């Protein structure tokens, strides 16, 4: 198939999933066309059947803000005509599904590529609920030829919030378990934990919903019971406040802010516990990547996390804001070697058996074929 992928090229989950899906499909022989304003962050390395098409947004004095949605629509039209696309896969509904719909109207429904929209989370739970976006969000979803969501939680949230009758297929996020596997590097452990301290880690875009200050508070309690260090990977609007909190708690020598990192496996391989105390998490991709590296996850029982983490087997889940309980769970694992070993092995096993790339990419391939059979494209 010729597949166009419209996505945000950023550090967040939707861009990561889009890039990894495109690469996996390309390895299976499909021709993949990424359409975005910048190269997706996980698209490093050369693949002969992956092409990147940059969306150029012109600025004019008349416009207060760049008009990305029509620019993206025009680029989709151009790529669809030149490359004879079968599918446009829109990751994150606004603006990608909206632009794909505009492109279809320009091309003519019978000759345009089919639109598959994947809902990732905040496009539904935050952005789409804004009154200025809600009608467009609902319309774009209903006009898609196929719609997927990354968790059962997100599917139900979409159907409830938008009163949509469209069938939504649940296809979870996935992880390349050949790449994401524990590969301990003693030099990394020595760098961050020179006295054999335990290492706790958190990876996110440091938005408010990630509750990164809770990570620091949890670590502060854990450190009182177990010699340990905390690695904070990522960047975003909450970072300054987090740095201030670290100073207030006198943790400067024990917490390391590492910023955005493209190579997570070495860091995850050095860690013992992954903390995710989010208040909103439709799936939890970074937690899955940690599980693939044999790290038990301590997280909140919200959104799609209970579908990913098996409480008492691959990690623990607690209520939002229950810092004491999450710290207790972490200490429990860090002070019981036999229990920790069982949880670590179970985390890896679940990542491989349920969320491995091959299994999930199979589901996307079958779904593309289903959409094309139900909505055939005219000979072009």
In the CATH scheme, what is the code of domain 2-174+357-374? Answer: 3.40.50.2000
pLDDT for residue 329: 98
Residue linked to tokens 């976006």: 133
| pLDDT tens-place values along the chain, 380 residues long | 999 999 998 767 788 899 999 999 999 999 999 999 999 877 876 678 999 999 998 887 787 788 999 999 999 999 999 999 999 999 988 899 999 999 999 999 888 999 999 998 877 766 656 777 888 888 999 999 999 999 999 999 889 888 888 899 999 999 999 999 998 777 888 899 999 999 999 999 899 999 999 999 999 999 999 999 999 999 999 999 999 999 999 999 999 999 988 889 999 999 999 999 999 899 999 999 999 999 999 999 999 999 999 999 999 999 999 999 999 999 999 999 999 999 999 999 999 999 999 999 999 999 999 999 986 655 44
**Rounded to 5 degrees, what are φ and ψ at 130?**
-65, 130
Give the residue from 194, 190, 98 showing the smallest Cα distance to 137.
98
pLDDT for residue 380: 46
Alpha-helical runs (H) found in 265-322: 265-270, 285-292, 305-308
DSSP 3-state of 182? coil
Longest dimension (CA), the chain: 68
CATH assignment of 186-355, among 3.40.1280.10, 3.40.50.2300, 3.30.470.20, 3.40.50.2000: 3.40.50.2000
The reply to whether the predicted model has a pTM over 0.85 is: yes
pLDDT tens, position by position, 277-311: 999 899 999 999 999 999 999 999 999 999 999 99
pLDDT tens, position by position, 253-271: 999 999 988 889 999 999 9
What H or E segment, with its residue span, contains residue 276?
strand 273-276
pLDDT for residue 377: 59
pLDDT for residue 374: 83
Measured CA to CA, the distance from residue 124 to residue 117 in angstroms comes to 12
Measured CA to CA, the distance from residue 170 to residue 150 in angstroms comes to 6
Domain ranges of the chain: 2-174+357-374, 186-355
Contact 174, 357 (CB under 8 A): yes
Contact 378, 13 (CB under 8 A): no
DSSP characters for 50-105? EEEEEPP----TT-SS--HHHHHHHHHHHHHHHHT-SEEEEESHHHHHHHHHHHHH
Contacts of 194 (CB under 8 A, 6+ apart): none
pLDDT for residue 165: 83
Q: Which residues sit opposite 89 in a β-bridge?
A: 5, 116
pLDDT for residue 365: 97
DSSP 308: H
- Quote the tokens at residue 171: 């296809």
Measured CA to CA, the distance from residue 163 to residue 160 in angstroms comes to 5
Burial status of residue 202 (CB atoms within 10 A of its CB: 0-12, 13-18, 19 or more): buried
Same topology for domains 2-174+357-374 and 186-355, yes or no?
yes
């Amino acid at each position: 198939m010729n597949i166009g992928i419209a996505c945000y090229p950023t550090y967040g989950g939707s861009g990561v999933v889009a890039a990894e899906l495109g690469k996996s499909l390309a390895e299976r022989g499909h021709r993949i066309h990424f359409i975005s304003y910048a190269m997706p962050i996980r698209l490093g390395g050369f693949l002969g059947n992956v092409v990147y098409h940059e969306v150029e947004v012109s600025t004019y004095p008349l416009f207060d803000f760049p008009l990305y949605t029509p620019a993206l629509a025009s680029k989709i039209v151009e790529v669809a005509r030149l490359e004879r696309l079968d599918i446009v896969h829109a990751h994150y509904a606004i603006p990608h599904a909206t632009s794909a719909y505009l492109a279809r109207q320009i091309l003519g429904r019978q000759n345009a590529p089919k639109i598959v929209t994947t809902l990732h989370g905040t496009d539904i739970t935050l952005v789409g609920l804004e009154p200025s976006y809600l009608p467009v969000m609902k319309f774009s979803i209903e006009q898609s030829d196929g719609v997927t969501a990354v968790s059962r939680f997100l599917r139900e949230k979409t159907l409830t919030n938008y009163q949509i009758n469209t069938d939504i297929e649940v296809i979870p996020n996935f992880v390349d378990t050949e790449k994401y596997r524990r590969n301990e590097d003693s030099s990394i452990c020595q760098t961050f934990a020179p006295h054999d301290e335990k290492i706790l880690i958190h990876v996110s875009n440091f938005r408010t919903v990630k509750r990164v200050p809770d990570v620091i508070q949890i670590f502060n309690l854990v450190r009182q019971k177990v010699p340990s260090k905390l690695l904070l990977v990522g960047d975003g609007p909450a970072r300054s406040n987090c740095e201030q909190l670290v100073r207030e708690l006198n943790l400067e020598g024990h917490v390391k802010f590492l910023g955005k990192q493209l190579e997570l496996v070495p860091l995850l391989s050095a860690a013992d516990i992954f903390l995710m105390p989010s208040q909103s998490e439709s799936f939890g991709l970074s937690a899955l990547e940690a599980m693939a590296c044999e790290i038990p996850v301590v997280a909140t029982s919200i959104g799609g996390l209970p579908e990913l983490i098996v409480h008492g087997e691959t990690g623990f889940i607690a209520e939002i804001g229950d810092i004491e309980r999450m710290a207790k769970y972490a200490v429990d694992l860090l002070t019981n070697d036999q229990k920790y070993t069982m949880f670590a092995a179970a985390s890896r096993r679940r990542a491989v058996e349920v969320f491995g790339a091959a299994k999930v990419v199979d589901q996307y391939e079958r779904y593309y074929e289903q959409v094309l059979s139900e909505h055939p494209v005219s000979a072009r």
